[in-house]
Amino acid sequence: MRRTLRALPTLLRVGLAEAVAYRAEMLVWLLATNMPLVMLALWSAVAREAPVGRFGQKDFVAYYLAALVVRLLTGAWVVWELTFEIRQGTLAYRLLRPFHPLVAYAAENVAAMPLRLALSLPVALVGLWLTSAEKLTHDPLRLLLFPVAVLGAWLITFLAMALVGTLAFRADSATSLFEIWMGLYALLSGYLVPLELFPPWVSALARWLPFRSMLGFPVELVTGMLTRRQALVEVAIQWGWIAGLLLAVRSAWRAGLRRFAAFGG
């Protein structure tokens, strides 16, 4: 742990340098996460005639701009890095370092956040300020819980990717399984449609799956859609998923390393 903490600043600097070096690729990724803006235009047009449930036009603006910010804050790509390095055998070089490879992956992913925020956060904040800032919560407790919820959402995203990535120790098509995960995420996280606009049984199912904790919960928290009690319950559910995924990743990693043999690269 001591060696990891000493290495962490260097890992973050290296990750930021890589993000800056590949800024064109980063810009393409940012443009690929514009679905909340597309859905915002669609639902705002629908709500112009009459509210949809509790959502009027300003509610949709606040929801989807918050969804955009949360999505950018919780993005990760470890599944592609991990599967590539396992197939190429270059993971062996990471295993020689005095800290866990997943710590290095996490630092690289986190270090790119300043660049992502610098490119996208001003647009979202200006949009919220001009159109629907009053729709954001002003409750101190919920505002304090929001960073906790965003951190939890990122951890679930990263750990789920790492878990799928460890399947590359045993199979060649681990990323194909992750595409299924992403499809379920888009549908059941609130990324495309607020979950309360689904039939009640879908909303109830989504509450106990990890996808809502990855986006819908932080967005509903900051837009004032949850009571204090509901927010605390959702935090408990979210961090319960984190604990479960952490144990699953640990077991899958140890089992995968026993099968790992470097080749190529």
Number of H helices, E strands in the chain: 14, 0
**C-alpha dist (Å) from residue 161 to 20, 35, 155, 175, 228:** 23, 21, 10, 9, 30
Q: Could you read off the pLDDT tens digit of each residue along the chain, which spans 265 residues?
A: 666 666 666 656 666 566 555 555 555 555 556 778 788 888 888 888 888 888 888 888 889 888 988 888 888 888 888 888 888 888 888 888 778 889 888 888 887 777 777 766 776 676 666 666 677 888 899 989 999 999 999 999 999 999 999 988 887 777 788 888 989 999 999 999 999 999 988 888 888 899 999 999 999 999 889 999 999 999 999 999 999 999 999 999 988 888 776 444 4
| Separation of alpha carbons 42 and 144, rounded Å | 31
Which among 81, 94, 98, 100 has a CA at the least distance from the CA of 262? 94
8 Å CB contact between 224 and 135: yes
Q: Which amino acid is at 11?
A: L
Q: What is the DSSP letter of 98?
A: S
pLDDT at 16: 59
What does the alpha-carbon distance between residue 239 and residue 261 come to, in Å, rounded to a whole number? 34
Contact 264, 178 (CB under 8 A): no
Judged by DSSP in three states, 83 sits in helix
Q: How many residues does this entry show for the chain?
A: 265
Whether the model clears a pTM of 0.85, i.e. scores above it, the answer is: yes
CA distances from 188 to 33, 89, 130, 152, 159 (A): 17, 35, 29, 17, 18
User: Which segments of the chain does DSSP mark as H helices, in order?
Assistant: 2-21, 23-31, 35-47, 57-73, 78-88, 91-95, 101-111, 113-131, 140-166, 174-188, 200-207, 210-211, 217-222, 228-257
DSSP secondary-structure letter at 55?
Answer: B
